[in-house]
Structure 1
Amino acid sequence: MNENLFASFATPTMMGLPIVILIVMFPSILFPSSNRLINNRLTSIQQWLVQLTSKQMMAIHNSKGQTWTLMLMSLILFIGSTNLLGLLPHSFTPTTQLSMNLGMAIPLWAGTVFMGFRHKTKAALAHFLPQGTPIFLIPMLVIIETISLFIQPVALAVRLTANITAGHLLIHLIGGATLALMNISPSTALITFIILILLTILEFAVAMIQAYVFTLLVSLYLHDNT
């Protein structure tokens, strides 16, 4: 039971070799570039959504922070497309792997922190010790603030992994229950099937929302350090 339940989260292999790199590269074909003078409808919608998202997300940044626009837009498109592709039958969602999410979160977080220490050294160091702190609390607060700083990339990765994994597990469990109830109680199976459809629609929304939340938090970390 447990083996079948978590089998969809195992990294797929071909002839004994992991093919996760090919899966990660696959979403790029969903965003074609047009060489024509007039874009088609799909390209126009994609460009409009990217411009709308970038305008909303990068409005709070100064000129240094806006240099990250291309990276952040690429990040939200990548996470959103991989989450959506993972909802297809017999597919694999790379963002259910904590190692991959940490691989995205740690470099982006480290880049924002290093930028803060480089351009706003005094302000970055001031975060470790709030003004007006009693002397006997200084060592404890420095330790707490340091831990909270290093926990940020872990929180980013765990949040994305937990939300995507939980949704996939619910779909798997309700789908299995629907198949099991078809021969026992068709009326109950119909109810669980309707719940499964509604949950699938919800998961499509969660896939996009989690991509936006992940990128937005990175953008906020960048804003605090620029």
Structure 2
Amino acid sequence: MMGSSFEQFVSPYCLGTPLIAMALARPWMLYPTPSSRWIKNRLITAQDCFINRSTKQLMIPLSKEGHKCALLLTSVMMFIITMNMLGLLPYTFTPTTQLSLNIGFAVPLWLATVIMGIRNQPTLALGHLLPEGTPIRLMPVLIIMETISLFIRPLALGVRLTANLTAGQLLMQLIATAVFVLLPIIPTVAFLTAAVLLLLTLLEVAVAIMQAYVFVLLLSLYLQENT
């Protein structure tokens, strides 16, 4: 049972070819092309409204120098949201449940913020490793601890996204299995369990959106420290 439950997180193959590349390219195929017309359709209008509001919210804590990364941060957020949402459909694969993929997103983006800080303001960037007023005896220990916490950031980004999506989808599959098992035995309990599954699905939709937003929000906070 446990082995079959975790099979949904295995990268699919077709004729020996991994399909994760197709899963990564799938989100961009679904977005409508922006129109140059003054009056747009409802889908493009809703998409523009969501992107504009999300971008404004992400740019609030950033300085003007950090606003140059608005397009990158918004693109990453929309990409992760779409992959998370599509992964909730039946017979689909969620690439963001793979820790290797999330780390591959987190490390380059985090490293870019660190390099940007060292290039633009090296004194302030290195000053985060040693807060002002630290006793001399604690300086070596504090520098080591701050350095470790700095390098843990991309790992925490990837693990947070992976753990939340994996736990939610695994719980949905376990409850769905319980519904099918209880349906011929105790139909009343099965219908109540199905209602719980519906509520959990709605919660998972919210989690899929929030985790993508939190991922990019933490990146914007890291960017704020280095701009």
TM-score with structure 2 setting the length: 0.97
**What is the one-letter code of the residue matched to 1:217?**
L
Which digits, 9 at most, give the CA deviation of each residue in 1:94-153, with x for residues without a partner? 000000000000000000011111111111111111112111111110100000000000
Q: Are residues 1:33 and 2:33 paired?
A: yes
5+ long unaligned stretches in structure 1:
none
The range that moved more, 95-104 or 33-42, is 33-42
The separation in 1 between residues aligned to 2:34 and 2:162, in whole angstroms, is 34
**What is the one-letter code of the residue matched to 2:115?**
F
What is residue 3 of structure 2 aligned with on the other side?
Answer: 3
The separation in 2 between residues aligned to 1:147 and 1:202, in whole angstroms, is 34
After TM superposition, the structure 1 = structure 2 runs for residues 27-176 of structure 1, keeping only pairs within 5 Å, are 27-37=27-37, 38-176=39-177
Give the deviation of 1:34 after TM superposition: 3.4
The separation in 2 between residues aligned to 1:198 and 1:84, in whole angstroms, is 16
The separation in 2 between residues aligned to 1:14 and 1:39, in whole angstroms, is 39
The separation in 2 between residues aligned to 1:186 and 1:94, in whole angstroms, is 35
**What is the one-letter code of the residue matched to 1:11?**
S
* Deviating 4+ runs (over 4 angstroms): none
Which digits, 9 at most, give the CA deviation of each residue in 1:33-63, with x for residues without a partner? 1345132110011011111111111122222
What is residue 183 of structure 2 aligned with on the other side?
Answer: 182
5+ long unaligned stretches in structure 2:
none
What is residue 15 of structure 2 aligned with on the other side?
Answer: 15
The range that moved more, 120-129 or 90-99, is 120-129
The separation in 2 between residues aligned to 1:34 and 1:76, in whole angstroms, is 18
The separation in 2 between residues aligned to 1:86 and 1:219, in whole angstroms, is 25
What is residue 201 of structure 1 aligned with on the other side?
Answer: 202
**What is the one-letter code of the residue matched to 1:132?**
G
TM-score with structure 1 setting the length: 0.98
**What is the one-letter code of the residue matched to 1:99?**
S
The range that moved more, 157-166 or 61-70, is 61-70
**What is the one-letter code of the residue matched to 1:108?**
L
**What is the one-letter code of the residue matched to 2:13?**
T
The separation in 2 between residues aligned to 1:140 and 1:35, in whole angstroms, is 56
The separation in 1 between residues aligned to 2:104 and 2:194, in whole angstroms, is 36
**What is the one-letter code of the residue matched to 1:155?**
A
**What is the one-letter code of the residue matched to 1:191?**
L
Which digits, 9 at most, give the CA deviation of each residue in 1:59-90, with x for residues without a partner? 22222201101000101100000000000000
Give the deviation of 1:2 after TM superposition: 2.0
Query: Identity over the aligned pairs, expressed in percent?
Result: 50
The separation in 1 between residues aligned to 2:93 and 2:185, in whole angstroms, is 31
SS class of match (2:65): helix
